[in-house]
Structure 1
Amino acid sequence: GDDVILTSGIAIEGTAILARESKTELLAAGVSEDEIKKAANLLNVPGISIVKPAQVAMSTGQVTAMHDPTEGGLAGAMDELARASGTGVTIDDDQVLIFDETKTICEALFIEPWGLIASGSLIITAHPNGSQKVIRALTQAGIEANVIGKITDFKKGLQIIKKGKLQPLPKFERDEIARYFETLNS
C-alpha cells in the first residue's frame, strides 16, 4: 500500500485555540506564560494554511491522495481518507509529529491530540517508491514531513501501532475541542 505522509504536526489549530481561549485554566494547571504564548503562536508558525505544502507535494508528481485534517483531528481524517478510498490504514504513533506545545496543552487540559482539530497539517499518500521524493521536496521548502504509516486492505480497518502493539485507531464521538469546551461550560 501507499505510504501515509504527515506535514507539520497534529492538532496545530486546536492547540492554538486552547492556548488563546483557556489561558486561565492552563496557568492553573501549571503551564507557563511562555509555553502558552508559544502554543498560541502555532496559528502563525507553522500556521494553518496547507496551500504551500499541497502545491509542493503535487509538484513532485508522486501524490496519490491528499486530505487536510480539520475537525475530528488526525483520527477523524484517517477515517475519512480510508472510507473515501475503500481502504484500511495503519499508523505508527511514534512517527506522528506532535509539537511539545501540543503535548503540554493537551496533557494540562486532559485532551487527546489525535481527536483535536488539526488544521495546519496535511495528509499525503504516495507510492512507497515516491514518498521520499515528496518528503525531500517538502523539507527543501521548509515544511516538516515524514511517513507515519501505510494504506492497507479495507479488511484490516484503521489501526495504530502504539508502544509496539497493534490496536484500533482511536475514534472520537466529536472533536476534542468541542468536548472540552462543553465540559468547561457545564
Structure 2
Amino acid sequence: MEVGKLKNEALNDLVISEIHMIRDDILIRPSIGEDCSAISFGDMACVLTTDPITGSGSQIGRLAVHVCLNDIASSGAETAGLLLTLLCPVGTEESEIKDILHEANETANLMGVEIVGGHTEITAAVNRTIVSATAIGKTSIQNLIKTSGAKAGDYLYLTKQAGTEGTAIIATDKASELADVLNKHELLTAQEMISKISVVAEGRIGSRVGVHAMHDATEGGVLGAIYEMCEASGKGCKIHIDKIEVHPITEKICEYYHINPLKLISSGTMVMSIDKENASALERALLDADIDYSRVGVVTDEMTKKLIMGDSSVEEIFDEIESPEADELYKVIK
C-alpha cells in the first residue's frame, strides 16, 4: 500500500465497513470526510478526534495540538482537553521528550486547552518519534456542525491559502536543499507559516454565522478537503481554480519539487459551506477577524466535482476533482 492515510475506497472497505452501529447516543459516526465523532450527553455533545503526526520531523508537538484542535473547530465545538501519546525510538534523549512536551503544552495553553493525559514510551517499533493526539471538545447538540451538512446552492469558501502546512514542513525539513530556490527571507517566511495553521477562529465564526458544513484541509490538500465535504454530503461542486489562493513561495517550492500545491497538506485552510443568504455575514466576520478568504465555488446536486476555468459567462471544465491520493508531501519527505 502507498505511504499516507488510506485512500477513501480502502478506508471504506477495510475500516468503516467493520464498524457496526449499536448505540443510539452516537451523533456523528465514522464516514469519509467527517473530522470528528460526537456522543450526546443530554443537551450537550462530547466531540472527539484523533490524529498522529507522521509527515514532519520538526515541531511535532505544536503540529499535534493544532491538527486536533482544528478538527474540533470544524464541528463548531470548543476543545477542553488533549491526550498525547509519544512513541520514541531507542536512543531518544530525555531532552527531546521534554522539548516536545514543552512545545505541545505551551501551544495548547495558548489556545486555552489543557493536556489531560496520555502515554510516553521508548520502543524499537519506530525509527523516529511519533506523536498521536486525541482532542476532547464540547458544544450544544443544536450547534453541532457536520462535514456532511453542505447543501446544493451553498457557496464554498476557503480561508487563507492552499498548502500552508506543507510549505512550512518542507521549508523546515528541507532547508538546505532549498538554499538555491529561496532567498533567506523567503525561506524564513515559509518556515514561519507554521504559525498560521490554526483554524479555530474560523470554526468559531462559522458556528456563529450558521455555516452548513466545515472541513479542515489536511492530507490531500484543499482539493481533497473539498472532495470529502461534497462526498460526505452526497453533493457535487463547481470550483473556479483561479479563485484558490496560493502563496508565491508555496508555488516556488511546489514547482521545484514538481508537486501540486492544491493537493499539499493545508492545515490553516478551512473549507466552509454556507447558503447565499448568510454568505455576506460570513465574509464580514472573516474580514473583521483579519482572516483572508476566497469564495471558490458552489455546491451542486449533480455529484460530479468540477474544476472550472473562466468566468460565469464562459466556463470551461479544467479537470474533475478526484478522491484524494497520498498527499504530495510524501513525495518530498521520505
Same fold (TM over 0.5): yes
Task: Give the whole-Å Cα distance in 1 for the aligned partners of 2:187 and 2:259.
Answer: 16
AA at the equivalent of 2:194:
L
Report the CA distance between 1:165 and its aligned residue: 2.5
Report the CA distance between 1:179 and its aligned residue: 2.2
Asked if the contact 2:164–2:250 (Cα under 8 Å) also holds between the matched residues in 1, the reply is yes
Tell me which protein shows more helix as a share of its residues. Answer: 1
Report the CA distance between 1:16 and its aligned residue: 0.4
Asked if the contact 2:219–2:266 (Cα under 8 Å) also holds between the matched residues in 1, the reply is yes
Write out aligned runs for 1:151-162 (5 A). 151-155=299-303, 157-162=304-309
AA at the equivalent of 2:159:
T
Residues 30-86 of structure 1 show CA distances to partners (whole Å, capped at 9, x for unaligned) of 321211110111111xx111111110222123x111000101101111111111100
Tell me which protein shows more strand as a share of its residues. Answer: 2
Report the counterpart of residue 49 of structure 1 in structure 2: 198
Write out aligned runs for 1:26-45 (5 A). 26-28=178-180, 30-44=181-195
Task: Give the whole-Å Cα distance in 2 for the aligned partners of 1:169 and 1:162.
Answer: 13
Residues 136-155 of structure 1 show CA distances to partners (whole Å, capped at 9, x for unaligned) of 10111110112111101233
Report the CA distance between 1:171 and its aligned residue: 5.3
- CA RMSD in angstroms, aligned pairs only: 1.5
Task: Give the whole-Å Cα distance in 1 for the aligned partners of 2:245 and 2:176.
Answer: 27
Report the counterpart of residue 164 of structure 2 in structure 1: 12
Asked if the contact 2:227–2:322 (Cα under 8 Å) also holds between the matched residues in 1, the reply is no
Runs of 4+ in 1 over 6 A off after TM superposition: none
Task: Give the whole-Å Cα distance in 1 for the aligned partners of 2:316 and 2:174.
Answer: 34
Task: Give the whole-Å Cα distance in 2 for the aligned partners of 1:158 and 1:86.
Answer: 11
Report the CA distance between 1:129 and its aligned residue: 1.8
Q: Secondary structure at the match of 1:131?
A: helix
Report the CA distance between 1:168 and its aligned residue: 1.1
Task: Give the whole-Å Cα distance in 2 for the aligned partners of 1:146 and 1:135.
Answer: 9
AA at the equivalent of 1:177:
L
Task: Give the whole-Å Cα distance in 2 for the aligned partners of 1:119 and 1:31.
Answer: 22
What percentage of aligned pairs have identical amino acids?
33
Structure number with greater Rg is 2
Asked if the contact 1:86–1:154 (Cα under 8 Å) also holds between the matched residues in 2, the reply is no
AA at the equivalent of 2:307:
I
Q: Please, which of 73, 76, 84 is the counterpart of residue 224 of structure 2?
A: 76
1:168 and 2:320 equivalent? yes
Task: Give the whole-Å Cα distance in 2 for the aligned partners of 1:100 and 1:80.
Answer: 26
- Number of equivalenced pairs: 177
Higher RCO, 1 or 2 (CA under 8 Å, sep at least 6)? 1
Task: Give the whole-Å Cα distance in 1 for the aligned partners of 2:216 and 2:267.
Answer: 7
Q: Please, which of 123, 130, 133 is the counterpart of residue 278 of structure 2?
A: 130
Task: Give the whole-Å Cα distance in 2 for the aligned partners of 1:83 and 1:172.
Answer: 11
Q: Extract unaligned runs of 5+ from structure 2.
A: 1-152
Question: TM-score w.r.t. structure 2 length?
Answer: 0.51
Report the CA distance between 1:94 and its aligned residue: 1.2
| More displaced stretch, 171-180 vs 85-94 | 171-180
AA at the equivalent of 1:162:
M
Task: Give the whole-Å Cα distance in 2 for the aligned partners of 1:141 and 1:36.
Answer: 27
